[in-house]
Every structure is written in C-alpha cells, then in structure tokens.
Chain A
C-alpha cells in the first residue's frame, strides 16, 4: 500500500492524469485501508486549510512600499532595541498602541507615500521634509521611541553618551501632553535628539536641531502631507514639532514646551 501513498495524495490534489486516477480509484474501491488513508489525508487537508491565514503587518507593508522610494535615514530601531525597556511598558500600553496604530495607519498610507515621492531622487530633501519623514518612519517602526519613559529624569540621561548634548526635556503632563520617550533621528547627516509626546492618540515628534543646521533650512512650511509642523528657535537649538495633531493644539504644545520649566 505504501507505494500508493504519494499517488493517493496526488489523486486527492487533482494532480493525476486520468489513467492513474482511474487506477487509484480502482484500488480505493478494493482496499479499505487505502480508503481510510484517503479519509485521513482529506481531513488533514481540510484542517490545514482552516488555519488562520498570515497577513503582512502594516509596518512590513509600509517598509516594502518604501523600498521603491527614497528612504529617509534613521538610527535603526534594531540598534536601539537592546536599550529599550520596552517589554514591561509594551504590556501596559500595548492595547493603546494598537488603537493608535489603527488611527495613524490610514494617514500613513496616504502620507508616507506622498512624502517619499516628494523625497524622490533628483532633488535634495529639505529639513522640514526630513523631519516629517523621520516622524513617519518612527510611526512605522515597531515602537516610535528607543527609550520609553514618561519620566524626564530617565529620558534625558539616555541621550548622554550618545550625543554631545542631551536635549531639554520638559514635563508637560499637566498640560495633557504625556512624555512617551525619546529616540535619535538623523537629519541630513547629523544625529539629533527627538522627544516623543502624546496627546490622546496623537504622537508628537519634537526634534532639536543644531542652530547652524537649522539656519540652512528653508522657511518652514505649515503642513507637509497633512502633518503639521511647528518650528521655533532658542539660543542653542532649532526645535521642530511634527504631528497629525490639529494645528492649534500643536501650537499649544510648542507654547507649553517653550514656557515649560526644564529639569533642574
């Protein structure tokens, strides 16, 4: 019987020519053991076919879509992974991120493609475009930050040793802008500290660029691909805030950050 098993499988799969198919049918009629094997194979096929189908995640889909576009540079999420305390945090916030991911997914698909097209080969991307691209890139990564903490006394030291200067970190929880964490982006060729804040389900990326680099930047545009951008400068840095948050709220954030008291 065992010699018949591959043929039986091929018969069940509809892969046999009529002559062999007839031969197998004849044996099936004569051999109850072979007939029982047929029932098992068909049951197995059915059970395997009912397994849930794998679906490529939105993140993977976006990363593959980005292959055919210019790719913004960002310090790899992988490199940062070991530095993250993500796990405990993820368990706590995982559900919220899920909702947030859903809320940004649609915007991402429309927004990021537009940005990548805008960044296509042929012309040097401007600072505002790079800032928005980095923000989008972070939304596509498994987590938007490489250090996760709502405590500025944790976030600020994380930048020490990675960058010449750690950024000013302001606690804005009282104004309903919760600190999510920080990461390092690369704008042009310079690594810059980025803080991430959250209001409701909207993330805000706040990048602190060296003033010299910012001076070369084109005049900020108010919105790029539907993302609002607010820019201001202090003595040391040019700050760029990017979010899908409504413009008045993003300006409220900028005002709160400027007025906010830096850590002692």
Chain B
C-alpha cells in the first residue's frame, strides 16, 4: 500500500470514526461487536481507498461500515437477516402502499409524552426495530444524513428511504405509546 493511500485513508475515513462506530453500534447492538465491525470496515476502506472518487467521504465511509455490519449480521444474526428479506418481500407486495400495521395498532401517544420519553426506553425501542428500519432511522435522525445520501449508503431508491423512515418512526411512536 502506498504512502499516498495511507494518507488518503487518514483524511477520508478517520474524521468519521465516531459516526462509523455509532452506525455499527446501532446495527450490531453492542460495543464489542461494533468495534470489530468498524475495524473490518476500516480494513476494507483502506484496501479500497483508491476507489474513493472524492465527493462525499462520510457517505463513502458509512456505506462500507454498513456493508461490513450486514456481513456481520448475516454471519452472527441470521435471524435478523431473514427478517430483512421478509420485510423486503412485504414492501414489494405493498408496492408503495405505505400503511404500516404496527403504527396503528397501539394507542397513539401524545406528542408531549414522546418528547419526554426516557432515554433507555427510546434506545430499546430503536434497538427493537427491524434492521432496515433501524439503519434508515439511525442515518437520518441520529447522524443527520439526507435522503439521497441514505439511498446511496443503503443501496435503495429515495422512495424506499422515505417509506422506511416513515415506518420506522411510526413503529417507534407506537411502541412509545404501548403499555410500559
């Protein structure tokens, strides 16, 4: 590996290490595995640094972390991945119909109650989301990326980002309104 590539890696990836770790932590669900995923992702980023064209270092880095996390999930949490495939199938069948059963099932909480939701309760609710919803919500509401960036990171059309985000939030609102 050339000196230039190493320097480029330090410029492109290192500034986003907190974001990388945050995404990996939300996807794997714990710190130790998140660190492993980030290390693996950084190895991949280092090997592929020549392929970075220089437009959006953060999105490029997070896409690699996301892919490494999905590989990790396939290997260590196959259950979660099956769930993803089911959801994708449901999504295709519904083809644009955005109603989400989960959102309308529980009692609908007041906005004020949501705003006061305890940290632990909110974290647990997010952790309980299916992976595709969780990653979309994490990228948007925790990391503040726009829909276009999220679409490129997760490899889906912007319309899918929009519907996943709506469902993720709908599920969270429902679960915060559910009985404690």
Interface residues of A (CB under 8 A from B): 2-3, 5-10, 13, 15, 36, 39-49, 51-57, 59-61, 63-65, 67-68
Contacts and interface: CB of A to CB of B under 8 A. Distances in A.
Nearest to B172: A44
Interface string B67-101: 00000000000000000000000000000011110
A56 B98 contact: no
Given A9-B169, A42-B111, A56-B18, A68 B142 contact: no
A54 B25 contact: yes
Given A5-B98, A10-B147, A13-B140, A43 B25 contact: no
Contacts of B9: 67-68
Interface in B84-134: 97-100, 103-104, 108-112, 114-115, 117, 119, 122-123, 126
Contacts of A43: 111-112, 114-115
A45 B28 CA distance: 22
State which size class the interface on B falls in.
35 or more
- Interface SS majority for chain B: helix
A96 B172 CA distance: 39
Contacts of A49: 141-142
B6 A6 contact: no
A3 B166 CA distance: 11
Contacts of B141: 44-45, 48-49
Contacts of B57: none
Nearest to B118: A47
A36 B111 contact: yes
6 contacts: A15-B147, A41-B173, A47-B122, A54-B18, A57-B21, A63-B39
A64 B115 contact: no
B20 interface: yes
